[in-house]
Amino acid sequence: MTSEEWEQLGLNTSEGNTTSRESSPSPDYLYAIPAVYGLIVLIGLIGNATLIKIFLTVKSMRNVPNIFITSLALGDLLLLLTCAPVDASKYVADEWLFGRVGCKLIAFIQLTSVGVSVFTLTALSADRYKAIVRPMDIQTSNALLKICLKVALIWIVSMLLAVPDAVYSDLYSFYEPHVNKSFAACAPYPPDDELHPKIHSMAFFLIFYVIPLSIISVYYFHIAKNLIRSAYNIPVEGNQHIRRQIESRKRLAKTVLVFVGLFALCWLPNHIIYLYRSYRYAQVDTSLMHRVASICARILAFTNSCVNPFALYLLSKTFRKQFNNNLFCCKSHFLIRSASMSRSTTTSRMTSLKSTNHSVASFSLVNGNFVHQEGCV
């Protein structure tokens, strides 16, 4: 890697660097990192696109939790297709390739995607809380419409919170004393601003991590308490319908909890590194430990955008069945077409063979040959 990357919470783009190659790792190491990004994008594209297709085409899968999960997958796709390639480009390019407009646009998209993820997980947890702890409060009338409006509101709020980043992000010149060179970086503030980066990093750590996860923790505390109480109150005999209902709710609550856990695990290192950089904003840490930690944190953050469909695959039998049907449908259609073409070819050959046999037999009879010669052709 060339100069120190600047990523705002995984929300800003990193700098286009112009430092000397003397401080860089080996070329093989550099080109391996974009390859990892490419693998993450490919896996995430397959998983999230298949998930969205299932929820759009399979009517039985269109329920309240799945609408939230579809929105989550859409946000992940947006991040993977736009921001991951930009983030990977810095490891092989010596300068920022996307100009001021790209700097502002990528910052806006990344922050919007992260906002959609964490706020959707919070809404999912609230939905599970209502379904398990307060089931009588659930409104059946126009439920899907109300959920769609909530999803739209999540996207609008996420975009509004991303607007300041888009406005203030720009190309600034940073100085790297280790090699006595300057480099252009896409960052939210100029290097001589010491106060605003600290406020900015702490505000986003609270808004996009601490506060949502704290709310989710409260919801799941009450969910766990309710499920434990319900397990003790169910009679040993009978009430199989109630048992199945509780088991179904527990599975779905477990799925949402896994999503939340993956988000918390994948984004925490990136938040920590951003806070660390913000409190020494004008300086560039060129140490190997910081460099490796930055790369791992970035890759882990983008990995979060491709793991949810596969977590759902492991946790949900219904989704696993639909996923297999959709993922392998192309292979099945290909095999069916191949078999059909094979049968058609065989039939044509048999018809041609019979026609040829008949013609040869007739020819033999005209020449006075034995009729049993027909079978020898």
pLDDT digits 0-9 by tens, 288-328: 888 889 899 999 999 999 999 999 999 888 888 888 888 77
Reference 329, options 12, 58, 15; nearest CA is 58
CB-CB contact of 121 with 212 (8 Å): yes
pLDDT at 270 over 70: yes
pLDDT greater at residue 240 or residue 15: 240
Residue, of 143 and 87, whose pLDDT is higher: 87
Question: Is the pLDDT at 367 greater than 80, yes or no?
Answer: no
- Strand duo 181-187 + 170-176: pairing: antiparallel
Indicate if the pLDDT at residue 353 is higher than 70: no
Tokens of 138: 């659930």
| Spatial separation of the C-alpha atoms in residues 319 and 54, rounded to whole Å | 8
pLDDT confidence tier of residue 239, bands split at 50, 70 and 90: low
Percent of the chain with pLDDT over 90: 35
pLDDT given for residue 4 in this prediction: 41
**CATH assignment, 29-136+143-167+194-327:** 1.20.1070.10
Could you give the C-alpha distances from 147 to 127, 134, 245, in angstroms and in order? 10, 17, 22
Confidence of residue 363 (pLDDT cuts 50, 70, 90): very low
Q: Is the pTM of this model over 0.85?
A: no
| pLDDT tens column, 118-128 | 999 999 999 88
CB 197 within 8 A of CB 278: yes
Domain residue ranges of the chain, discontinuous segments joined by +: 29-136+143-167+194-327
88 within 8 A of 38, measured Cβ to Cβ: yes
Average pLDDT for residues 182-196, to the nearest whole number? 77
Q: Which of 182, 186, 190, 185 is nearest to 19 (CA)?
A: 182
pLDDT in tens, 86-98: 888 888 877 778 8
